[in-house]
Amino acid sequence: MITPLLDRGPAHQESAAAQLRAARAEALFTSDLSARREHTQIEVAAAIRRAIGTHNGIRGCVAEVAAAYGDHPETAAGRMRWARAVIEAIDAPAGPAGEKVERRLPVLHAPTSLPLAASATPDR
């Protein structure tokens, strides 16, 4: 019998939440969004959905991330830092008493010698 996620305790729930954040960051990394401009949470969510569909699931996104690190290690790390920072900003706790907090999502600041957007490079 499989134990439902909610019955597995707080440590397992935290682990599952961390895995979900990592998967969303990997999908965002492979998305067509530019890391050099600010995006809304709606744009990020749509880009994650498109990336998962384009790469046939999270495993395809993970493979794409690995390829990017192999092909462009000099830019892949920066794009992954951006993707993780965006997901962390989206998942940050609400303000006092659960009030909605307007958050600015991170933007990658990199040397201008890198391409602004290209499907073959990880700094899109």
Domain spans of the chain, in order of start: 19-88
Write the single-letter amino acid at 11: A
Q: Tell me the pLDDT band of 114, cut-offs 50, 70 and 90.
A: very low
User: What is the per-residue pLDDT for 100?
Assistant: 60
Q: Tell me the pLDDT band of 11, cut-offs 50, 70 and 90.
A: low
- Beta-strand runs (E) in 1-124: none
Q: For the chain, first and last CA: distance in Å? A: 44
Q: Print burial letters for 111-121: b (CB count within 10 Å at least 16), e (below 16).
A: eeebeeeeeeb
**From CA 48, how far away is CA 54, in angstroms rounded?**
10
Position 50 pLDDT exceeds 70:
yes
Q: Are 123 and 115 in contact (CB under 8 A)?
A: yes
Distances (CA, A) of 9 to 13, 22, 46, 75, 93: 6, 20, 31, 38, 20
Position 115 pLDDT exceeds 60:
no
Q: Which residue has the tokens 């998305």?
A: 31
User: What is the per-residue pLDDT for 33?
Assistant: 96
Average pLDDT (5-33) is 84
**From CA 124, how far away is CA 114, in angstroms rounded?**
9
Position 9 pLDDT exceeds 60:
yes
DSSP class of residue 36 equals: T
